[in-house]
Structure 1
Amino acid sequence: MSVNVRIPTILRTYTGGRAEVPAEGETLGEVLASLETNHPGIAARVLDEQGRLRRFVNVYVNDDDVRFEGGLAAATPDGSGISIIPAVAGG
């Protein structure tokens, strides 16, 4: 399945400055593997050392938060928009 991944500004050094890149995969895990193949180093910013989504990175498939849709097993239907959003802290 072909999807479009929106890349936050902080990760655009891995995509040559591009704000959106295509990727392939039927699940979020496969999409992230596709991203890593085409943009080496990006997966380490989204996944922790155990291969799980980092705690302070939010990922959405269309408008659905993947934490409530199966995590890395979340389905990524053809044409989906995936957003990677680093959490912002402050006070």
Structure 2
Amino acid sequence: MATIRIPTTMRGLTGNKGEVRVAGATVGEVLKNLEQAHPGMGARVFDDKGAVRRYVNVFLNDEDIRFLQELSTPVAEGDRITLIPAIAGG
């Protein structure tokens, strides 16, 4: 199981939990299982084509998955996935 750090803006979908534990062999599986455990999270993370939304950054143990194997990046027991939505303002 991996621990997923949930940003404040998405915690309403996880019962206000800042971290949840979810099983999966890859980052993609973990995030899909996150949707099953907490409905609504998938729409916040994935676009209509199943890719991570442009404004959501996903890190595995402090490494941006875009520089690893993206959603196919393997996940080991105890790994940490962090979701960071981009914030716009002015």
Structure 2 gaps, min length 5 = none
Distance 2:14 2:71 in 1: 21
81-90 or 40-49, which moves further after superposition? Answer: 81-90
Secondary structure of 1:18 counterpart? coil
Normalized against structure 2, the TM-score is what? 0.95
Secondary structure of 1:54 counterpart? coil
Query: How far has the Cα of 1:90 moved from its partner?
Result: 3.2
Query: How far has the Cα of 1:74 moved from its partner?
Result: 1.1
**CA deviation map 1:3-49 (0-9, x unaligned):** 10000011101100000000001101100111011101101100000
Report what 1:48 is aligned to: 47
CA RMSD of aligned residues (A): 0.9
Q: Which runs of 4+ in 1 moved over 6 A?
A: none
Count of paired positions = 90
Percent identity over the alignment is 49
Report what 2:71 is aligned to: 72
Distance 2:28 2:66 in 1: 13
Structure 1 gaps, min length 5 = none
Distance 2:36 2:52 in 1: 18
